[in-house]
Amino acid sequence: MAGSTAPRIGVLALQGDVREHVLTLRDIDIDAVLVRRQSELDHIDGLIIPGGESSVMDKLARIFDLFDPLRRRISEGMPVLGTCAGLIMLANNVLDAIDGQQSLGGIDVDVRRNAFGAQVDSFEVGVSAPSIADTPLAAAFIRAPVVERVGPGVEVLAQLDDGRVVGVRQGNAVGISFHPEVEGETRVHEFFVRLVAEHVASAGRSARR
């Protein structure tokens, strides 16, 4: 898909596992754009918000004057994928946010930060996500959030065997609790690239200028 016909995918590069997402996109022939400024945000078709520290990303987005432009582009329909901390950034409500922490919103869910425990409690498991892949996704849960409420109009994309919701979509916004990029799992990114390509096709043009 690389080349002039490929959608232009950005990775928010303020903090977190940016490199892993860039490499995963490269594995599926997509050259990522690192997004740290509004000028870079203005020239992409879709955005990945990586895992990391959601409260730190929130602060840095405001320091770099990216918070409001990010929120605007998402509300205007730009496809966005949030993994782990990225899901927290996309949730309309963060149940245990630290003082002053804000989210970008875009998905009508309640999420709880670090719901699966501390770093030492990290684990790997196959996750069923029928809308994304026919077989379970390879997923790493690292200080991961969980979705505790799913609002109307939100599609559940992925659940654990015990029923906990770990993947959701509302329109142009997709959020997952886990890290596929550290497992060499490319199917979430392939799903997202198709979503972005469909959005570009329906809009009749690319964001690139």
Report the DSSP beta bridge partners of residue 11.
Answer: 34, 48
Q: State the residue for tokens 């879709």.
A: 46
Catalytic entry in 20, 21, 181, 189? 181
Catalytic entry in 84, 189, 190, 199? 84
The bridge status of strand 146-150 relative to strand 173-176 is: unpaired
Cα–Cα distance measured from residue 81 to residue 11, given in angstroms and rounded to the nearest whole number: 9
* Residue 171 near residue 90 (C-beta atoms within 8 A): no
E strands, the chain, are 9-12, 33-35, 46-49, 80-83, 91-94, 107-112, 123-127, 137-141, 146-150, 155-159, 165-170, 173-176
181 is catalytic: yes
20 is catalytic: no
84 is catalytic: yes
Catalytic entry in 21, 43, 148, 179? 179
So which residues are the catalytic ones? Answer: 84, 179, 181
